Amino acid sequence: MKIEQIELLEIQMPLVHFFETSFGRTTDRRIVLLRVRADGLTGWGEVTCGEKPFYSYETPGTAWHILSDFLIPWALERDWDSPAALAERFRPVRGHNMARAALENALWDIESQRQGVPLAQLLGGTLEEIPCGVSIGIQNTPEELLEKIRIEVDAGYQRIKVKIRPGWDLKILEAIRSEFPEIRLMADANSAYTLADIEHLKRLGRFDLMMVEQPLGWDDMVDHSRLQRELKTPICLDESIHSAEDARKAIEIGACRIINIKLGRVGGHSAARKLHDLCRAQNVPVWCGGMLESGIGRAHNIAMSTLPGFVLPGDVSGSRRYWSQDIIDPEVTVSAKGTIAAPRKPGLGYVPNLARIEKVTVRKETFENRR
Ligand code: OSB
Ligand code: MG
């Protein structure tokens, strides 16, 4: 694969509804996209970091720096046999997984077009449709949250995840369960608690939650393993898992029973597949997390979610929940039974809407191959 040109673009789009977690509220998104031209084909990737270094240390600014000063020059220095070979070249960089994922994933898009198969198939995906859940942020009032849950349950989504933090947890879950006794429900704390809250967290056991996501430190596994021994509710790790190696260690010490895989957080499709394979061999269920992606990142998530170990509904949901108009055609839609059909066309299976992208682009830089 000979890369001819790489373009970095920053787009800005307001969310249809604010999204609030234990670390803050997001109303407007800034997203770095990457367009790669190679072998006469065009591939797209998305950097899935937040605007602020709260979920992880990466931001649009750090990603732009790491990509333009390191990863892009390396990608242009020679030809590549596969996207995995490029990912291997990135090894000297410590961390910055979301930056490297964007570039590697764009090459996966190109490679699947080159082979004339859907990206899902190239990755080894087998599911023809993926089960979908939604992640619902902290709202201004409990009533507004119940209203939001009602809308998503009626739309057919297979499970509801709500964000929790101290002061927005037991009472909220109590209210949800009294109105929705039967739904598949889980809670995501985004590291809002410590081991000192152990008695409090044990009370989550009353709500028949599928899991509690990342209750303790964003970089911790040891305390999570202590907590899991005391907790009936399965723990799912998100922030703490950056590789298959991390997953192996977490499983070995009993820090979780479920893992949320995010393409950006683990550094791209090659690493995500390794992590998936490891969890599958160990019978640890995985599901695909979300980062309020635009259509490009969402399409990559859909392809990954067709791998056979993605047995639980993920956070990959319809475009309309985020954007008045997404940047791909068609937009991502969800069936009445809460599934997204895996596209059957070669590549991502969704077409980037260039006019729409142009309209929301605020910064652009082009890197040409001069070899
Ligand atoms: O912890 O899963 C998370 C969004 C931004 C940062 C972290 C998380 C989330 C979500 C949203 O839960 C999932 C989505 O709808 O994209
Ligand atoms: Mg999470």
Q: What is the pLDDT of residues 226-280, one digit of tens each?
A: 999 999 999 999 999 999 999 999 999 999 999 999 999 999 999 999 999 999 9
CA of 95 to the centre of ligand 1 (A): 20
Residue 156 confidence (pLDDT): 98
Catalytic residue, from 2, 161, 249, 262: name it.
262
Identify which of 301, 367, 368, 357 has the alpha carbon closest to the alpha carbon of residue 31. Answer: 357
CA of 290 to the centre of ligand 2 (A): 8
Residue 78 confidence (pLDDT): 97
Other Cβ atoms closer than 10 A to 371: 10
Amino acid at site 287 = W
CA of 67 to the centre of ligand 1 (A): 23
Query: Closest residue (by CA) to atom 14 of ligand 1?
Result: 290
| Residues ≥6 apart with Cβ < 8 Å to 82 | 1, 111
Query: Closest residue (by CA) to atom 8 of ligand 1?
Result: 291
Query: Closest residue (by CA) to atom 4 of ligand 1?
Result: 291
Q: Which residues line ligand 1 (CB under 6 A)?
A: 50, 55, 135, 188, 190, 238, 289-292, 315
Name residues of the chain where pLDDT drops below 50: none
pLDDT digits (tens, 9 = 90+) for 54-98: 999 999 999 999 999 999 999 999 999 999 999 999 999 999 999
* Interatomic CA distance for residues 228 and 202, integer angstroms: 10
Tell me if residue 345 is catalytic. no
Residue 30 confidence (pLDDT): 98
DSSP letter for 127, please.
Answer: -
Structure tokens at 37: 């031209």
Residue 218 confidence (pLDDT): 97
Catalytic residue, from 52, 148, 163, 337: name it.
163
Residue 93 confidence (pLDDT): 98
Atom of ligand 1 nearest to the CA of 290: 16
Among all bound ligands, the one having the nearest atom to the CA of 291 is 1
Query: Closest residue (by CA) to atom 6 of ligand 1?
Result: 291
Residue written as tokens 């929705």? 180
CA of 288 to the centre of ligand 1 (A): 10
Tell me if residue 163 is catalytic. yes
Query: Closest residue (by CA) to atom 13 of ligand 1?
Result: 290
Q: Give the N- to C-terminal CA distance of the chain in Å, as an integer.
A: 14
CA of 163 to the centre of ligand 2 (A): 9
Mean pLDDT value across the chain: 98
Among all bound ligands, the one having the nearest atom to the CA of 297 is 1
Identify which of 36, 29, 26 has the alpha carbon closest to the alpha carbon of residue 102. Answer: 36
Residue written as tokens 């009626």? 154
Give the 3-state secondary structure of residue 143. Answer: helix
